[in-house]
Structure 1
Amino acid sequence: MKFSILAGVFTAGALAQSGAWQQCGGQNYQGSTTCVSGYRCVYVNDWYSQCQPGAATTITTSTRSSSTSSAPTSTSTSNPGAKKFRWFGVNQSGAEFGSGKYPGTWGVEFIFPDNAAVQTLINQGYNTFRVSFSMERLVPNTLTSSFDAGYLRNLTNSVNFITNAGAWAVLDPHNYGRYYGNIITDTAAFRTFHTNLAKQFASNSRVIFDTNNEYNTMSQDLVLQLNQAAIDGIRAAGATSQYIWVEGNSWSGAWTWNTTNDNMKALTDPQNKLVYEMHQYLDSDGSGTTPTCVNDQIGVQRVIGATNWLRANGKIGVIGEFAGGANSVCQTAVTGLLNHLQENSDVWAGALWWAAGPWWGNYIFSFEPPSGTGYTNYNSLLRKYVP
């Protein structure tokens, strides 16, 4: 989820030219349709155009079909008979709260998952939990510095609780490709961070490593190199049995993956356990900041391009974040999304709702038992898809 970074991007986009890799067009988009020097506005789909490197031009949805009444044509072939997901669950968010307040105090600026709530979800069949954390709290000095013992202990306790219960724990450095707000450019240091982290969990086969949450507004080659550095670092630590989930630029959005992140197909892993993690929200700008879905088919519409990319390149994907508002349009759209993923289970391995956590309160998508808005409105729907 994009949080305040996204809000700042779209506010700026409405006032001036859109920056590198920012949105510049799409259905209901109100911002600038021109890009800064050296970038051009490239149509991705009816809901999203993006500033990508190249000669300046403007492409808006007026030059494309504006229909949103049905899903775009797919060249993919669905599997006869949907299979169960390998991974299906919920993000656990809280340890990354209090952005900018470092190191912060547990219980004041940030919180770790509630084990009782996690157990409730495990009892209902959810088997995967992506645990967000802050790199600045784990390594408070530099990316290569030693870990903060208390923060690591709390993170490890959360992960061990999940995996000891037989579920999967996804380690999610929730940093948007940044460290203390600055884009990470030192790939060697990034590799060292992942080596050091992986050493802590190398013996736990139920751990999954996520390279970083939602890289955005960065050089596309840098995103590729950071992901490869993370893969190399994890394997160098002796963590050879675990899956690695890699994320892409432009907030790892599924709806722009095939145009923005095509170079990610070059990633290599000696263990052949890479999974391409994409995120997809269903509101007009794809930010997941409103409970309104564009239409009841938008879930399918926004992932078909990614489905085709995965199949064409022989890759496996997972939707690491998705959600919908508490209304019938979104419930239909979410159902369509999950059905599509299951029907194409040769390339999609699962999906995780955003998000649960003790401090979400009345957040529009909260999946924290027993009374989170997302939990009360979607639990019965999502439980149909548990493995």
Structure 2
Amino acid sequence: MYFTLLSAVALASRACAFPAQPEARAAAAGVQFVGVNIAGFDFGCSIQGACDVTRISPPLSNLGGADGVGQMQHFYKDDGMNIFRLPVGWQYLVNNKLGGTLDSGNFGRYDQLMQACLKTGAYCMVDIHNYARWNGQIIGQGGPPNTQFANLWSQIATKYASQQKIIFGVVNEPHDVPDIDKWADTVQEVVTAIRAVAKTQMIALPGNDWTSAKMMPTKSGPALLKVKNPNGTYDGLIIDVHKYLDSDNSGTHTECVTDNIGDTFQPLATWLKDNNRKAILSETGGGNTDSCKKYMCQQLDFLNQNSDVFLGYIGWSAGSFSSSTYELSEVPTKNGNSWVDSALVKACFTKKK
């Protein structure tokens, strides 16, 4: 979500045996993946990919932060969720050393959250929350060369090569990228680097326009369709999309005005079917209001009805956000030994049986 991390800063200061995308199932069974984002390691990152690592807020109670571990355990056990996306800033992982190796301390703290996620039994998505940038400069287009970004991913993939339930999310919300074909080349280098060490996990491919689900079929999609595995297949390569429901699709308002079906998810479903591809909605959210409960449930019902092309959806956001002040809070509150879900999560984010 393209304005969320600015809000977060304020809140915090203020097949070859690839497991391919899971096989299509009957629409009535619903999507395979339902979950939420567990934010905090991305706090301090702006939409220009500049991350102030002093402003992160690790969602780990043992580090003095929110109880992201307890949140995930609750979502998995009580709500049937089975996927969590774990955003983190590129600068944090390498301790501000562009082109450097993973910082053992910082990566170790992020890995605590990852291991807690895996321990639930859920799938866990790595999300480099940098908007296709490092400090304002676009990767492969005037900024860091593709080789540096691919090297970052090679290191991450090496760490998690044996973990089949980890999904590699290339980068969060590229926007205003001048050349979409060059961006596809960047994504290709990342895929090639990951596949050199991690042969089977899913990789989520982001497009331009804030990873727009609406724009994917006509703008980013045709270029991303060319990205393939080193063996020439497309197994395990899924299209990453985002979509919000407020008046300007910014994810900054508590009221929702659309279910996004007619102008976004129906055309996207048709495009995915025509191209034999699958997508995951890795960010969507709304306020804990009647309008958002209405439209969000309708949107997610459509995805469940089209589970042959939509693998799942991940709400934004839980983790280190404030359950009382953040507009799109999906943070559950603890009441004794139990957790109480936000109104939107309770109404719409449930796993179909």
TM-score greater than 0.5 by the shorter chain: yes
Structure 1's consecutive aligned runs of 4 or more residues displaced over 4 angstroms after TM superposition are: 4-7
Q: Which residue of 2 aligns with 1:116?
A: 70
Per the alignment, residue 200 of structure 1 pairs with 159
Residues 182 and 386 (structure 1 numbering): CA distance in 2 closer, same or farther, change over 3 Å? Answer: farther
2:288 aligned partner: 326
Residue 298 of structure 2 corresponds to residue 336 of structure 1: yes
- 1:331 partner SS: helix
Match of 2:105 among 150, 166, 170: 150
State which of 44, 54, 74 in structure 2 corresponds to 1:98.
Answer: 44
Question: Which among 71, 77, 83 is matched to residue 128 of structure 1?
Answer: 83
Structure 2 residue 237 is the aligned partner of structure 1 residue 274: yes
In the alignment, structure 1 residue 221 sits paired with structure 2 residue 178: no
**Is structure 2 residue 102 aligned with structure 1 residue 183?**
no
Q: Which residue of 2 aligns with 1:2?
A: 2
Find out whether 1:355 has 2:326 as its counterpart.
no
Aligned partners of 2:242, 2:56: CA distance in 1, in Å? Answer: 26
User: Greater CA radius of gyration, 1 or 2?
Assistant: 1
Residue 375 of structure 1 and its aligned partner are, at CA, apart by: 3.8
Equivalent of 1:233 in 193, 216, 220 = 193
Partner of 1:289: 252
Of the three residues 30, 36, 41, the one matched with 1:84 is 30
With structure 1 as the length reference, what TM-score do the two structures score? 0.75
Aligned-partner Cα distance in 1 for 2:244–2:261: 8
Shift of 1:83: 2.0
CA distance in 2 between counterparts of 1:5 and 1:170 reads 18
Whole-Å separation in 2 of the counterparts to 1:348 and 1:257: 14
Whether the 8 Å contact between 1:231 and 1:244 is mirrored in structure 2 is: yes
1:228 positional shift: 0.9
Amino acid at match of 2:253: T
Distance in 2 of aligned mates of 1:208 and 1:101: 23
Supply the distance in 1 between the matched residues of 2:254 and 2:327 (Cα, whole angstroms). 7
Aligned amino acid, residue 171 of structure 1:
V
Residue 217 of structure 2 is aligned to residue 252 of structure 1: no
Q: Which runs of 5+ in 1 are unaligned?
A: 8-78
Q: Deviations over 1:12-59 (max 9, x none)?
A: xxxxxxxxxxxxxxxxxxxxxxxxxxxxxxxxxxxxxxxxxxxxxxxx
| CA RMSD after TM alignment | 2.3
Label 1:84 to 1:191 Cα distance change in 2 as closer, same or farther (>3 A): same
> Could you tell me how far 1:349 is from its partner in structure 2?
0.6
Count of residue pairs brought into register by the alignment? 310
Structure 2: gaps spanning 5 or more residues: 8-24, 61-67, 335-339
Q: Which residue of 2 aligns with 1:74?
A: none
Task: State whether residues 39 and 86 of structure 2, in contact with CA within 8 Å, keep that contact through their aligned partners in structure 1.
Answer: yes
Please state whether the residue corresponding to 1:95 is helix, strand or coil.
coil
On the 8 A contact 2:5/2:43 being kept in 1, the answer is no
Structure 1 residue 305 corresponds to structure 2 residue 267: yes
Distance 1:275 1:81 in 2: 19
Instruction: Please state whether the residue corresponding to 2:168 is helix, strand or coil.
Output: strand
Equivalent residue number for residue 365 of structure 1? 328
TM-score (norm 2): 0.82
Is the contact between residue 143 and residue 193 of structure 1 (CA under 8 Å) also seen in structure 2? Answer: no
Identity of aligned residues (%): 27
Conserved 8 A contact 2:40-2:319: yes
Q: Residues 182 and 352 of structure 1: is their aligned pair in 2 closer, same or farther, counting only changes over 3 Å?
A: same
SS in 1 for 2:163: coil
Report if the CA contact (8 A) 1:177-1:184 is conserved. Answer: yes
Aligned-residue offset at 1:299: 4.5
